[in-house]
Chains A and B, each alone.
Chain A
Amino acid sequence: MIFHSLHFLVFLVVVLAIYWVSPARWRNFLLVPASIVFYGFVHPWFLLPFATTTIIDYFVARGIEAQPARKRALVAVSVVSNLGLLGVFKYYNFFVENAAALLTSLHLPVSLPVLNIVLPAGISFYTFQSIGYVVDVSRGHVRACHSFRDYALFVSFFPQLVAGPIQRAGHLLTQIQRPRTVQPAVVAEALVLIAWGFFKKLVIADNVAITANKVFAMQDPSFAMLWTGVFAFCIQIFADFSAYTDIARGTARLFGFDLSPNFNHPYLADSPSDFWRRWHISLSTWIRDYVFIPLGGSRQGSARTSLNLVIVFLLTGLWHGASWNFVLWGLYYAVLTLLYRAAAAVVPAAWQSLPGLRVGKILLMFLLTNLGWLIFREHNAQQLWRDLTLSPAATPASDWRVAAYLSTMTALFALPLVLHTVWDVVLRERVQRWTGWPRLAWTAATAVSLALFFGILLLRSDTSQDFIYFQF
């Protein structure tokens, strides 16, 4: 079931109503089947790999608690089975196609069978969430969950099941195990968050997607048109993914849960590492805690640190999809991070605190991020090479005019994102201090929700698309 459908609206209203009129002890029990209906609504078979992961990790964690001496073997069982499932569904075809191409290039042509199946939605998200739980139990950070119902809810909780944010057991599972209440102020905030999420998806992301899709469908875009498309995609992917997160967080709040955030104004980042502290935070912190630090992090010399960075960024890239452009995208961030680290080591500290430098660094990082999005969006290597070698001088004058028009359209649709950033970064705290409101007042929240609601009615795009991160 997708968020921007009437089915979801009806589903949410019905589940919320039953949830809050039910006795507290039945609420977790109710949310599990609700989540199963949500997830299996279009493709019921998606529930099979999902159930396999849930069952294995529930018993593995119990086993770790019962037999701590065997925890390494049990963690290995979890990791191998989870990554095995992920590998079959997500990476098998990529592997066999590349293996066949390699063998053919070695004059050993083979025909390997490929799987003709749909990738189960959200498989990368719940797989990582479940592995994280098992590792946390093995490290003693959380206790193994003794209620299968509660664990099933932790993995399946429908607001964040399909596209995150990836939750830690220490955060979500503990909330599941406690009784929950919800205050009117929290409901008001949740409604604003949901309305803002829908606005970002239906008005911003879906409208700018028209330009991005058209440009990336062109055979030979000029320099101006290409970067117009990349700029549109840059806005689209942020609006789209953060919209999902906002709707997920807002919906979870209506049920009394607090989900961890996933974004912190990523386009204000001033370096690649800063970008990854602000973009898809739940994934980058997962990889930091479960891969980078166990590999030795940045404490084993510069060569080992560099290698660790390359590994984690390649993994980050591959997590997004079984395609060479994602590998390249990960590698791109690894190289950028290493270059920034090298530059930081040689640039004098006095220069680094020059006034206005941060603005310049943010602008530079924004341009580099756009270059990254080009790699991310362009699946064809030959086309990517062609794109990267385009010269602005070869752009016809008429293309510049169309590019200016389309970029202005993108900028107009992106304006609410800019205003939101200004509010969040500059104004929110001051207004709250000045008015004395620790949280948005009910009236203000209602007004904002209504404004967003009418904005959606009047400005939503004709063509609505799936959330981009559904494919991961």
Chain B
Amino acid sequence: MGIAAMVVIVLGVPTLLGLGPTPRRPFDEKPLRLMKKEQPRCVLLGDSMLETRIDEKVLNRVSGERCFVFAQPGSSSATWFLMLKNLVSVQTPPPRTVIILYRNRQLTLPAHRAEGEYRKSMEPYMREAEPVLEKLLGSVRKSTGVIEGLVQTAYPVERRRENTQDKVQAWALDLVASSREYEEIHNAAKKLFSPRNLRVGNLVDEQKDGGASSLDPDDHEFSAALDASFLPAMIELAREKGIRLVFYQVKRRPNPDGSAGEESPTGPAYLRALRAYLEKAGAPLFDETREPDVTVDFYGSGDHVAPAMMPRYTELFWQKVGPLVNAEPGR
């Protein structure tokens, strides 16, 4: 009797906890309002590669345009698609140009940084229904093992757990600050732990994390991965809104002699196929990986540019990307 009751509790309570609407972070209107106020002509999207490379003030100066740097460390193509769809393309008028900074094969890894904690940080850019996102992520999700699958079925409490974690954080904030100070503390924490403040060697290989995709992050073919990626949706959206999309592949930390770091043998073929596809779609691509002027001296921690080198890097960046941005579409 006792054992039966225990089994019922162990199996039943989590199921009850998992019922009902799953809590989700609401859409964040702030960046939308900010962009509306600033009406940028050029928007840059990316992860920590962008955050640690481009100095917005310097970029405004060298480009002579109002630029908006929208960097989210730990983001990837799914988040950039959401930013483009829900923040950038809804502006009236929309910005003339959107530049996306990426590394390696991020553009064709739709599930990269799109699950777990990453998913939580994507939610502020998600509207109620995101059919394209769910369709693309659903098609590439790695199937779980038998045991994991059984456990997830028996204990559908994952979202409830995330919600509880949020509550603990909110409780801690309540104990030390008033509600109007929350944002200030969050921003200060975000700044403190931003990649530019980290020590060299303390970064995980972000290309490999969030590996919910069944694709090999380092060695998949472009043509095989294209349809399941966010690229076609981003290009279509940009075309609809008359936005010029520019892609910029950043150079990862080079070797001390300036040569490019380790590269997959299939890398050049992948890049050729990507470039051909983008050029056909009217979206230019700049590949920085072979640029000799981006030397190891620019780098701080891992693939990030050192804060002191950001102004110089931004100038170099615009020298390279400016002509692409200013070129007539189709040329």
Contacts and interface: CB of A to CB of B under 8 A. Distances in A.
A347 to B, nearest CB: 38
Q: Considering residues A401, A405, A413, which has the most beta carbons from chain B within 10 angstroms of its beta carbon?
A: A405
B141 interface: no
A55 interface: no
B155 A457 contact: yes
A404 B193 contact: no
Contact of A458 (B161, B184, B197, B301): B161
A446 B2 CA distance: 10
Interface residues of A, number: 32
Considering residues A217, A225, A406, A413, which has the most beta carbons from chain B within 10 angstroms of its beta carbon?
A217
Nearest to B203: A217
A41 interface: no
A458 B164 contact: yes
Q: Which range contains the number of B residues in contact with the other chain? A: 35 or more
Nearest to A460: B161
Contacts of A88: none
Interface core residue of B10, B193, B198 (most chain A CB under 10 Å): B193
B202 interface: yes
B327 interface: no
A462 B117 contact: yes
Contacts of A402: 185, 188-189, 192
A408 B13 CA distance: 30
B151 interface: yes
B172 interface: yes
A47 B13 CA distance: 42
B13 A454 contact: yes
A442 B6 contact: no
A398 interface: yes
B14 A457 contact: yes
A118 interface: no
A217 B198 contact: yes
B185 A219 contact: no
Interface in B142-177: 147-148, 151, 155, 157, 160-162, 164-165, 168-169, 171-173, 175-177
A460 B168 CA distance: 12
Contacts of A399: 188, 192
Interface of A is mostly: helix
Interface string B175-218: 11100010011001100110001110010000000000000000
A6 B154 CA distance: 14
Contacts of A217: 198-199, 202
Contacts of B165: 459, 461-462
A205 to B, nearest CB: 15
Could you say which of A220, A406, A458 has the most chain B C-beta atoms within 10 Å of its C-beta? A458
Interface of A: 6, 10, 214, 217-220, 225, 383, 398-399, 401-402, 404-406, 408-409, 412-413, 442, 446, 450, 453-454, 457-463
Interface of B: 2, 6, 9-10, 13-14, 17, 116-117, 147-148, 151, 155, 157, 160-162, 164-165, 168-169, 171-173, 175-177, 181, 184-185, 188-189, 192-193, 197-199, 202, 301
15 contacts: A6-B147, A10-B147, A214-B193, A220-B197, A401-B177, A401-B185, A402-B189, A405-B185, A406-B172, A406-B189, A450-B9, A450-B10, A457-B14, A458-B17, A459-B161
